Amino acid sequence: MQSFSFSSIAFLLRFSRALIRLHSPLTSYSLQEKLLACSLARKVVVVVLVGSMALLSEFRNITIFLVTRSFSFFIRTCSFIFKTFVVVVQTWLELLKTSVSFHLNIFWTTSMWIIAFVSLLGRIVVALQRERQLQQNLQFLEIEFENVLWERKEFQKHFQAAMKEQKVVELMLDELEMIHEKATGKISHLESELHKLRNENLRLQEIKGKTCWQT
């Protein structure tokens, strides 16, 4: 195609030179030469038409090639851009997922540590309160135990005093029994004496009555 176009261009150059010579006023041509020039002109027109058609066909082919090539390049570029976008989006999503999971793990771990620390503080506070309450209960029990010991000592003192009083009362009872025995002995002795006196009085009254009857 390119060789045909080059040959047609060379032919057109030669034809233009012949036309210039034909129409030049310094030269005179015969009828045969003029006819030859006309036939050459017709051939030139045909060649020009054929060349123009060939050029149009070549331009069309080049245009189609360029369009298809540019369209293919555009499709490849779009495909590359889309693939790159997909890869970038997937990478970004993976990074986002990794970052979110990492931050969630950090948040979860931190929350667990905070909850454990707060619960530990709560347990420590509860243990301190229980220890304080136990100390208060222990102090109260110590006070109660001291009070019980003091009451026990007082009770022992009272018991010892009561034992002493009991011994004194027993001694007094023994003395009273001895006095009672002595008193009962004296009473029985006095009763016997009284009985004797009564008998003596009766005997004297009888004697006195006998003497009165005799007189």
Share of the chain above pLDDT 90, in %: 5
Extended beta strands in 26-115, E state: none
Map 161-174 to HEC letters.
HHHHHHHHHHHHHH
pLDDT beyond 60 at 109 = yes
Alpha-carbon span 195 to 71, nearest angstrom: 172
pLDDT band at 28 (very low <50, low <70, confident <90, very high): very low
* Cα radius of gyration (the chain): 80
Alpha helix (H) residue ranges in the chain: 2-22, 31-214
Q: Which two tokens stand for residue 127?
A: 């243990």
Residue 41 near residue 15 (C-beta atoms within 8 A)? yes
| Backbone angles phi and psi of 25, in degrees to 5 | -75, -15
Alpha-carbon span 59 to 164, nearest angstrom: 150
pTM of the model: 0.35
pLDDT beyond 70 at 113 = yes
Handedness of CA 8, 13, 16, 22 (dihedral sign): negative
Domain locations along the chain: 2-87
**What is the length of the chain?**
215
Q: What is the mean pLDDT of residues 142-152?
A: 89
